[in-house]
Structure 1
Amino acid sequence: MNREEVISLMEKYAAGSLSAEEEQHFRSWMEQVSPAEFQSLLNEASHIPAAFKAWQSPSPEFIQRLEQRLDERSGKTKIFTLTRMVAAASVIVLAVIAAVFYYNREPQARTLAQQEQQPDVHPGGNRATLQLGDGTVIALDSANEGELTRQGNTRIIKLANGQLAYQGGDEHAVPVFNTITTPNGGQYQIELPDGSKAWLNAASSLRFPSYFAGGERVVELEGEGYFEIAANAAQPFRVKIREGVVEVLGTSFNINAYADESAARTTLLQGAVKVHKGTAAMLLKPGQQAVMSNGTITRLPNADTEQAIAWKNGFFQFDGIGLPELMRQISRWYNLEVKFEGKIPEREFAGKISRDVNLQDVLKALQINGVNFKRTGNILVVTP
């Protein structure tokens, strides 16, 4: 089939109007197409719901890791088709190929779609507050572009791209501590007084001085943040989290330290960091991750750096995580209270989805794989 014929079949499939013969041709093509080709054709199709186009195919690196997991669990030949992957290892791949099959399911399988009378929940965005040392609170998302205030010689500015920046400063002045906080459904980027940059995920906060004086640069993080640190060997950069301290010289790294997660994870992309927990310390190299849990530090030598910073790049990315962890990510971004009713399905999810889509699109794609939901306002109940 040529591209025009395939696109036509894709659009008919989404609308549920394929003939039996067309469906047979389409399914046969689906078994052979590469993820890259499928995504390219999907992007050209003009009559397919946004939920389909929100889902991204896993990267080649992810597929390789998933194959290894399948081999370890099942001892079977490597398999690429979605249906057989699920059967072999109970690993659910949330990809565009899975989404295509949603709208052609039996009507009784679409319980979520029947709840669409409720207003949809929009994705999060650039929302945060800045609390100054004197207690003044500035709503950054509604603040005008330009200078917001001054602290001594330090100018606090909202740039044209919405980013917060600290400029100037006096090394002889007494630093004043400020705190930037993102709510559920918020994220924000800030340029710190030394030129380092930080990105905060939803439900996170960063406490920092208006000027880095003395022999070190220290900030305090709750939640999740990605950092690009300005190099200064004479003034090491340290991030304090609930579980310990991450010491930096000049580097790019991500810290996930939410209080409701079982471990704090520091993932290094470039440079070098040293993770401290009590008297224990661990030096990381690029591509490694330190996991702090129950008073110990464990090194993962081949961390999934793409997954670690997917949120910063505008995606949810799952690499074999359980449903509770997946739902915690969704609850933070869409400002939901998630509850589980009955037994939690013991499944692992893998794949990638844009954080720019509405909640309903995310839930539809999850429901394909046997996860059901009931929503009332901002309360989302997950049912078997």
Structure 2
Amino acid sequence: MLRERLLYLMERYFQGACTEDERRELAQFIGTEQDDDLLKEVLDDTWERFQPESPMPEAMSGRIQRALTGAPVVPVRKRRPLMAAAAAVLLLLAAGGLWLSREQSASVQQPSVAQVQKAPVHDVAPGGSKAVLTLGDGTVIELDSSRNGVVAQQGSVKVVKLANGQLAYEREGQAPAEILFNTMRTPRGGEYRLTLPDGSRVWLNAASSVTYPTMFAGEIREVSITGEAYFEVAERADMPFRVKTAGMTVEVLGTHFNVNAYTEEKTIRTTLLEGAVKVRAGGSEALLKPGQQAGLQGNGRLNIKNNVNVDEVVAWKNGLFQFTDADMPAVMRQLENWYDVNVIYEGNVPERSFGGAIQRSLPLAQVLKILEESNVKFRLEGRNIYVMK
């Protein structure tokens, strides 16, 4: 019975579907369970099914139970890759975030674990499921305050709000005589999930939008986005899928990919996880393979990167901030969007390089405390973050 429950919770974790109660239950299981063979067996089973081609990550370790209880954690020395992966997963579950940081051109510090503490009264809560839906006739629906169920009827198409920040479309009877376009927008501090009329799924990050028809017809399925979105496209060989941004077009048949088109970023980036996509920008085009990323910079040139860390690219979808050699402005932009705050630099922008992962479910003050391990100071006043050297 224990194995079945532990397997269920680990599967939920790898699917990114764990609730807070399930995370705590999993952490409690591991904190009290003394059977290392059982933990190894469960992790081995879930890893092979959910990430069969992903290499096991290098991770800090020590006894898992010590990490869960907050005792000092020591680096791994030639530990078996599977148990190293277990340590990485469980540290995130237990502590809220695993953080590695280093100053520019300085030696890397030992990893440290952020301890979860009760947020002070003046803290800023993390973002959540918030979005506004604008129908084809101009009607605006606040999805976060609407009840679950049918929120709108557009001809023969029903717009249905599901649980846990999701929206879907259901068609009844004949195709509508007129195809309308809807737009979903998330504010800063919001995210939402959408199942398009063709069954394709979209994860919309904070301060983003997606515009799409209530039914796909013709030769092309086309949507347009601003900000950032992750797509799992339903395969239709007879009707390719197209995503348009300001400057880049992505064409697919059926695949998984992420598009980052925030206006405040210097580069529009499309990253492929599965399948194949064709990216067009200006007079250039490129066919991407899994693990490749196409970047469009202000000069109009299309650059291709190989062996991109796709886990980092889609970490936001899985409830994490994840960085690899990220500079201060890049980190702060993510905090601005997710916590709906403003960042103010007192003096020059500190030159720091960040790496590691933090749960997006943490209050802002705890995230800033973790970041301060990189020898930088923050002051939180209302919805303003002041950055000090």
* Matching of residue 30 in structure 1 with residue 98 in structure 2: no
Report the Cα offset of residue 194 of structure 1.
0.7
The residue type paired with residue 106 of structure 2 is S
Paired residues of 1:319 and 1:349 also in contact (CA < 8 A): yes
Provide the residue aligned with 1:335 in structure 2: 340
Once the two structures are TM-superposed, the CA of residue 379 in structure 1 deviates from its matched residue by: 1.1
Summarize deviations over 1:304-341 as a string: whole Å, max 9, x none: 11111110011010011101000000111111011111
Corresponding residue for 1:53? 95
Q: Does 1:209 align with 2:251?
A: no
Give the Å deviation of 1:41: 11
SS in 2 for 1:259: coil
Give 2:376's match in structure 1, choosing from 357, 371, 375.
371
What is aligned with 1:266?
270
2:204 corresponding residue in structure 1:
200
Aligned residue identity for 1:341: E
Residue number in structure 2 paired with 1:145: 148
Change (3 A) 1:91 1:177: farther
Give the TM-score of the pair, scaled to structure 1.
0.76
Q: 1:286 maps to what in 2? A: 290
Matched position secondary structure for 1:30: coil
Give the length in aligned residue pairs. 325
Distance 1:98 1:292 in 2: 36
- Contact 1:314 1:354 survives alignment (8 Å): yes
For residues 231-270 of structure 1, the aligned pairs below 5 Å read 231-270=235-274
Tell me which of 101, 126, 131 is aligned to 1:128.
131
User: Could you state the TM-score of these two structures normalised by the residue count of structure 2?
Assistant: 0.75
1:30 CA displacement: 2.6
Q: Secondary structure at the match of 1:183?
A: coil
Q: Tell me which residue corresponds to 2:57.
A: none
Give SS of 1:311's match.
helix
Select the structure of larger CA radius of gyration.
1
The answer to whether the Cα contact below 8 Å between 1:216 and 1:236 also exists between their aligned partners in 2 is yes
Corresponding residue for residue 158 of structure 1: 161
CA distance in 2, matches of 1:378, 1:265: 29
The answer on whether the counterparts of 1:323 and 1:345 sit within 8 Å (CA) in structure 2 is yes
Alignment partner, residue 321 of structure 1: 326
CA gap of 1:31–1:40, structure 2 versus 1, over 3 A, is closer
Cα drift, residue 279 of structure 1? 2.0
Deviations 1:113-168 (A, max 9, x none): 9xx86511111111111011111111111111111111111110012343100111
Give 2:122's match in structure 1, choosing from 119, 123, 129: 119
Q: Report sequence identity in percent.
A: 42
Amino acid at match of 2:170: Q
Q: Distance in 1 between matches of 2:85 and 2:285?
A: 46
Q: 1:6 to 1:220 in 2, by over 3 A?
A: closer
- Which residue of structure 2 lines up, in the alignment, with residue 301 of structure 1? 306
3-state SS in 1 of match to 2:122:
coil
Q: Deviations over 1:44-79 (max 9, x none)?
A: 9xxxxx998011378xxxxxxxxxxxxxxxxxxxxx
CA distance in 1, matches of 2:107, 2:134: 43
Q: Report the residue type matching 1:373 in the other structure.
A: F
Structure 2 CA distance for aligned equivalents of residues 141 and 307 of structure 1: 27
Q: Distance in 1 between matches of 2:130 and 2:231?
A: 18
Q: What letter is aligned with 2:182?
A: N
Superposed CA RMSD in Å reads: 3.3
Number of the residue aligned with 1:19: none
Distance (Å, rounded) in 2 between the aligned partners of 1:30 and 1:257: 40
Could you tell me which runs of 5 or more consecutive residues in structure 1 were left unpaired when the two chains were aligned: 15-25, 45-49, 59-81, 104-112
- How far apart, CA to CA, are the structure 1 residues paired with 2:168 and 2:362? 28
Letter matched to residue 344 of structure 1: V
Q: Aligned to 2:315, what secondary structure does the other structure show?
A: coil
| Aligned residues of 1:216 and 1:235 also touching (Cα < 8 A) | yes
Unaligned ranges ≥5, structure 2: 1-32, 35-61
Distance 2:319 2:386 in 1: 25
Q: CA deviation at 1:173?
A: 2.2
1:258-284 per-position Cα deviation (integer Å, ceiling 9, x unaligned): 000000110001111111112211110
**Residue 360, structure 1, aligned to residue 376, structure 2:** no
Distance in structure 2 (CA, Å) of the matches to 1:13 and 1:314: 22
Contact 2:379–2:386 (Cα < 8 Å) also in 1: yes
Aligned 8 A contact 1:320 1:348 in 2: yes
Q: Give the alignment partner of residue 90 of structure 1, picking from 106, 129, 134.
A: 106
